[in-house]
Chains A and B, each alone.
Chain A
Amino acid sequence: MRYRDEMRKMGVAEIYWRDYTPLPTWRTPTMEGSPPEYDLYLTSYKLIEFKQSRASQIPLLAELAPKQRLEINPKTAKARAIGDGEEVWVESHNAVTGETRRVKVAARHSESMRPDTVGMPHHYGEVARHPWVEGQGPTPNTLFFTGEGYVTNTQDQSFHVKVRVYKA
């Protein structure tokens, strides 16, 4: 009950009861409900350098991957006039509550990214709360949402978001 009240307070209209099924079902991912200007998918991944340390506070490892970056396909970047290494805002949208969140990060051109997707690794970010990680960059966790539509109740739902990227 408390959960439903919390959700109603956030302006959620419906609870996704249909997600509570014993058999896998498919529905359009929540993120597709965001307005069309949020045109890029955001994917996050882990870096090999921080596989064991999980966060970036060990200076020896941080030397190998010093800063956070947003990997973006060069064509996508060119369409938004974003050069390699430039600071950009990445803004995500919650299709259920309408909330937007954004972080500022340096973009990195990478042919290996799909043109419709941008990627940001984990490990960085102030959530590590360690004095040695200052200045390394934000965490993509800021951009993801919890709450209806973005929290899996079974193991078949995605909680990805759609973002838009623009120059800082």
Chain B
Amino acid sequence: MARYGMVVDLDRCVGCRACMEACKVENNTPRANLWMYVFRFEEGEYPDTKVWFMPRPCMHCDNAPCVKVCPVGARYKRQDGLVATDWERCIGCRFCEVACPYGVNYFNWKSPSKSYYLDWGDKDLSGVTGGDSPPYRNPDLDRPYGQEQRRIAGGGRVKGVIEKCTFCVQRVEKGLLPACVAACPTFTLRFGDLDDPNSVVSRLLQRKRSFRLLEEAGTQATRILRGRSSAGRGSAADRRGESEGMSVGTRVEGLPYGIARFTFGWLLLIGFLLALVGLGVYAYALQYSEGEVVTGMRDIGTMGGAPWGLYITMVIYFVGVSFAGITVAALIRILNLERLRPVSRMAELLTVIALILAALSILADLGQPLRGIVNLFLYARPQSPFFGTFTLVISGYLFASQVYLYLDGRRDAAICARTPSRLQWLYRLWAAGYRDTQAERRRHARASFWLAIAIVPLLFTAHSTLGFVFGLQVGRPGWFSALQAPGFVVMAGVSGVGLLIVIAAILRRVLSERERLNLAVFRWLGNFLMVLTITYLYFMAVELITATYIGSQSEVHLMDVALRGDYAWLYWLSVVSMAIPVALLFIQFVLRRHRIGLIVLSGALVNMAAVGKRILIVVPSQTHGTLLPYLPGSYSPTWVEYSVIAGLLGLGMSLYVLFMKVFPIMEVPKRAEGVR
């Protein structure tokens, strides 16, 4: 079987860029998609200047990072050495684009037919073309190729998929050379069978020195001549009050916490939130029909943009915030922290809703979301870090949290089921025959305990897996770090606990639960938040020192951009938004005098810092962190992205508020069960 490779002879390139043009014509690429690109380098000072050119096709790496990270296997390496993109399977997640160290991938932000070089619908042009119908579409690009018979030639005609240099597979299958090789006037580009010792490429590699571009990245590129304690104390206390109450058959006066009672204020709130959701849906519909060109995201490299923007930032934020529920549940069960019991259900609900929003954010980001849903099930690849995100996080974490929420709520459901109401059928279903006997309670506590034990490892693996999405990318300076996985776990804690504090404070007011959501609860959460935030600031300090001590060029440049350059305002704002809470919480801790107001302020500030820091993780490494010398870029989100995110937040809040009207958000107090 032939093993094709390309060899680029830098001694010969004169920078005529005929290869770029030939590639465009052969593969009908739309505007600004430069599958083949030629860099121009100028070195030295006058009069000792040297100008040289370097063509950069796709490197068709033997150890390609893009192949490794594709969640559905649309990007794969063929036996004959070509790295191909199946544009029928691609779901448009752009993971290959951010993973590539060379910046060769291009995403169809809008339908390719809208971004050709001229407006072919223009009536005047038909006079020029003599009535023929441009643009000329090479018919070979639509045929399937290879043993697997997949459509890999050309760039796909739909928006929302990735395309890149294919070594002109439609020409190679016919025995021709790729278009760029055929067009090169100086024999700079050579193509052939690396396994054949007599081929042009093999002979060149024997005769001349060669290197692989970015060899240290390990990609083996083409050569250049390159979560109740209850079983114990709890049940003893419960035994007296509950069993008495239940045997007397006392009814609760109406359902607790305003359930099923719709006030005007509540309706106003839900109306506002649903209006936000409507805005988000409208913006998303626009994005779905026009393509992601309506967002501020663009390709890395020649386009100077960031293909991962606010949507991915919010995915990380939502998954991070879901830390709260699991941790609180686990801490209550495993460490007997009864103090936190009042916030356990609101934390669990936060987790469930946050994970749903995370899944929706991923779908909002995909170029082909419907394909994404289908192909992720049909073709999922465990080697891709996204696999961990979808299975461990979205499926495992979400499922376990829902089970936990269900189990935890059975007792309160049973209590609510005693009162006749429109939702009595729901409570009966939820309680599913829960009897408040001692044996039942012990069994329930044991089940929750073991479930909490099973969830805790998921806590670490789920957040670490999201960290691996970034930390394993050798081609993105600033991302490639062993600290990403643990950093994501800690940051999840910071934002999750912070948001939980804010929610608890709001509910404390709204439900008038000053006694149960008392200072002890906030004090514990505040101290936990302090420890987590200090840990995260430690991670940031380690990152800063490592990058600036004797950093590699890209790392130093990225740190400079963050500390003093385009992103300095966001960096320092985030640092301050984390330092102030640490100071507030630490002072309160040392003086042993806590105030709920200050703790809540800290929780709100760290959440803002969390979003800011996540933007700093995601965006600068794409706009300013290219290993090849592209010009620096920029990313400005558009109203579409803000609206979709506002819609998601509105959806989350409305689900939360809706749940509160249907089920008690805190455990119904034992007092309510007693005789009045």
Contact = CB atoms under 8 A, between A and B. Distances in A.
B197 interface: no
Contact of B16 (A48, A63, A110): A48
B21 A111 contact: no
A61 interface: yes
B12 interface: no
Interface in A82-113: 110-113
The CB with the most chain A CB atoms within 10 A, among B14, B15, B21, is that of B21
B46 A73 contact: yes
Contact of A111 (B17, B25, B32, B42): B42
Contacts of B118: 59
Nearest to A49: B17
A110 B21 contact: no
B21 A61 contact: yes
B15 A48 contact: yes
B17 A60 contact: no
A114 interface: yes
A73 B44 CA distance: 12
A115 interface: yes
B20 A64 contact: yes
Interface in B31-56: 31-32, 42-47, 49, 51
A64 B46 contact: no
Contacts of B24: 60
A168 B162 CA distance: 42
A86 B601 CA distance: 46
Interface string A26-62: 0000000000000000000000110000000001110
Contacts of A49: 17
B15 A64 contact: no
Interface string B93-123: 0000000000000000000000001100000
A110 B32 contact: no
A59 B117 contact: yes
B interface, size bucket: 20 to 34
B46 A113 contact: yes
B395 to A, nearest CB: 45
B98 to A, nearest CB: 24
A136 B46 CA distance: 29
B16 to A, nearest CB: 5
B27 to A, nearest CB: 13
Nearest to B21: A60
B642 to A, nearest CB: 30
Contacts of B49: 111-112
Nearest to B18: A48
A99 B42 CA distance: 37
Given A59-B117, A112-B51, A64 B44 contact: no
B31 A63 contact: yes
A110 B42 CA distance: 8
B20 to A, nearest CB: 6
B44 A48 contact: no
A111 B46 CA distance: 6
Given A60-B117, A64-B21, A115 B46 contact: yes
A61 B20 CA distance: 10
A112 B46 contact: yes
A110 B46 CA distance: 9
A135 to B, nearest CB: 16
A36 to B, nearest CB: 22
B42 A63 contact: no
Contact of B42 (A60, A61, A112): A112
Nearest to B14: A48
Interface in A64-84: 64, 73, 75
The CB with the most chain A CB atoms within 10 A, among B15, B24, B32, B46, is that of B46
Interface string B507-534: 0000000000000000000000000000
B402 to A, nearest CB: 52
Interface string A142-168: 000000000000000000000000000
Contacts of B25: 60
Contacts of A61: 21
Contacts of B51: 112
B298 to A, nearest CB: 16
A111 B16 contact: no
B175 to A, nearest CB: 27
B629 to A, nearest CB: 15
A63 B32 contact: yes
B353 to A, nearest CB: 47
Contacts of A63: 31-32, 117
Nearest to A51: B16
A113 B44 CA distance: 12
Contacts of A115: 46
Contacts of A75: 46
Contacts of A110: 42
B116 to A, nearest CB: 9
Contacts of B15: 48
A38 B82 CA distance: 57
Interface of B: 14-17, 20-21, 24-25, 31-32, 42-47, 49, 51, 117-118
Interface of A: 48-49, 59-61, 63-64, 73, 75, 110-115
Nearest 6 A/B pairs, CB to CB: A59-B117, A111-B49, A48-B16, A112-B49, A64-B17, A111-B42
10 contacts: A48-B14, A48-B15, A48-B16, A48-B17, A49-B17, A60-B24, A111-B43, A111-B45, A112-B42, A114-B46
Given A49-B17, A60-B21, A111-B45, 5 more contacts: A60-B117, A73-B46, A110-B42, A111-B42, A112-B42
